[in-house]
Structure 1
Amino acid sequence: MKELKSIEEFETLKNKGKTVFMFGADWCGDCRYIDPLMPEIESENDDFTFIHVDRDEFMDLCADLAIFGIPSFLAYEDGEEIGRFVSKDRKTKEEINDFLAAL
């Protein structure tokens, strides 16, 4: 999964097709739990571009987007938010795929 490098890149990517931003952090156990599952989730949902956002590096962006728990997923299509899976709970592969299928 590609890593977000800048706020400018976030603005560009959210306006370009269907993009899912996964917010997480290296120290987050629940984030580490789903990391090995993400390549499979990405291949099963190839109509989306997946971007990892380091919560610690982009704290202001997270605050602006009301991302307070991680891991969290925020989906955009051509600049419009189409869904969010935001909570402090551990997420399963099935829950993530269900979220993406509902978009």
Structure 2
Amino acid sequence: MQCGDEKEQQEHIVNFGNGNVHLVTTKEGWDEKLSEASSVGKIVVVNFSATWCGPCRMIAPLYSELSEKHSSLMFLTVDVDELSEFSSSWDIRATPTFFFLRDGQQIDKLVGANKLELQKKIVTFADSGNHSK
């Protein structure tokens, strides 16, 4: 668990972890979140981004806002620099890249900071998730 100062410093740099967005900083944390989502039948939205990436910073507030509106989904952010080897295993070629996962398997993907498209996909998956409850 992080101490308060570290967390504040990270969020001060860029607010990727705001709202209901979980910042994934380890492979173990990733496995834990995916397992948790699978056990409750949630679709996971993953934002692979970087603190130096302008489009990532631009879309972060919307991503955070969507995470608060759509609690039927689990929102994660992975910093490609912090978990570079892990990010490479997902074949990330541009940031931000958003993955949509069900039971750990990719069901959709969006490359780039396309706000409208991201919103559309999230609403679609949130609605599809609500019917299964």
Count of residues in correspondence between the two structures: 100
Alignment partners' CA distance in 2, 1:49 and 1:11: 13
Alignment partners' CA distance in 1, 2:66 and 2:31: 24
Note if contact 1:22-1:71 (Cα within 8 Å) is conserved in structure 2: yes
- Cα deviations across residues 19-39 of structure 1 (Å, max 9, x unaligned)? 111111110000011112122
Question: TM-score when scaled to structure 2?
Answer: 0.67
Deviates more, 1:21-30 or 1:38-47: 38-47
| Structure 1 position 44, deviation (Å) | 2.9
Q: Which runs of 5+ in 2 are unaligned?
A: 1-20, 126-133
Alignment partners' CA distance in 2, 1:101 and 1:38: 12
| Structure 1 position 90, deviation (Å) | 3.0
Note if contact 1:2-1:50 (Cα within 8 Å) is conserved in structure 2: yes
User: Which consecutive segments of 4 or more residues in structure 1 shift more than 4 A?
Assistant: none
Q: For the aligned residues, what is the CA RMSD?
A: 1.6
| Structure 1 position 11, deviation (Å) | 2.0
| Structure 1 position 102, deviation (Å) | 4.0
| Structure 1 position 83, deviation (Å) | 1.4
1:58 alignment partner, one of 83, 105, 120: 83
Aligned pairs for 1:6-85 (under 5 A) are 6-15=26-35, 16=37, 17-85=42-110
What residue identity is the alignment partner of 1:46?
A: S
| Structure 1 position 95, deviation (Å) | 1.3
Alignment partners' CA distance in 1, 2:83 and 2:50: 10
Q: Considering Cα pairs closer than 8 Å and 6+ residues apart, tell me whether 1 or 2 has the greater RCO.
A: 1
What residue identity is the alignment partner of 2:77?
A: H
Question: TM-score when scaled to structure 1?
Answer: 0.83
Note if contact 1:75-1:84 (Cα within 8 Å) is conserved in structure 2: yes
Note if contact 2:25-2:79 (Cα within 8 Å) is conserved in structure 1: no
